A = this chain, B = another copy of it.
């Protein structure tokens, strides 16, 4: 019996309401919040820059210290020709692919050398699998982190975040790279605390309500490979039954000029001793300073009860996302 008559495109209406009511302001906290203060910030779900989030890592993690501690431990490092891992590249067949990096095992000494002087690819430690701590640690104690010996320099939980959300963190990651590496626009299904130890991270942020502006497409999957240990990196398409990957088609260079005029990205630079709260569903594009940049992040599962999660899902499902490489997808 009930029939819904629409007055306007609801997604564009929501995007406009959100922009008009929230602008591009980013709150800066002079020190980490209490759990109650952070709980209110999670409800608001806007990025926040937090000063004075201090860990032993901030004073300890010189190259020398890392080389001594990590010694001959082999670390999983992403290698790409141009610093664009998990990004869209054109394959040798002229088609566009979502391309995952080659993963090589390097010692920290080799990694630091490659970051500053490497000529055979861009190296970025970005394994994102809870390489410092992962939720598996709590279950069996058998998960072995490549960074086990650095664990005591950080914290496995951000207390005020754990208390605010009422749950333990899902994963803690370490990221090591420099200005050659860029992270393409994407969003994560996690509440994220992102802390910088050395160097700078520069985030370009877009709210979930403006996700439509990122021009997502479904791309075939590929990986960078080498046919010999020192050979050039090549794009190797994955088998045809590998699921297509939904990803933004915006370029990583000239990014801002590629966004629609009504979308107003927020730019936030995170420096050593600072952290950023990056709320669930926020789109982020990340650049780094030229010097060696080390960052940490704590991922917490987002709240799936209530309005926010349903809105984030509906925003993703309502949009028709074309396949890449088809004439009508231009």
Contacts and interface: CB of A to CB of B under 8 A. Distances in A.
A237 to B, nearest CB: 27
A17 B213 contact: no
A244 B53 CA distance: 53
Interface in A191-250: 207-209, 212-213, 215
Contacts of A5: 319-320, 322
A154 interface: no
Given A36-B39, A39-B40, A40-B166, 13 more contacts: A2-B212, A6-B319, A7-B317, A7-B320, A10-B314, A13-B314, A13-B318, A14-B310, A17-B314, A21-B309, A22-B310, A43-B306, A45-B306
A12 B22 contact: no
Contacts of A313: 17, 21
Nearest to A46: B306
A163 interface: yes
Contact of A6 (B7, B21, B311, B318): B318
Copy count, this protein chain:
2
A11 interface: yes
B304 A21 contact: yes
Contacts of A308: 43, 307-308
B318 A7 contact: yes
A271 B215 CA distance: 52
A2 B260 contact: yes
A308 to B, nearest CB: 6
Nearest to A210: B2
Contacts of A296: none
A1 to B, nearest CB: 6
A4 interface: yes
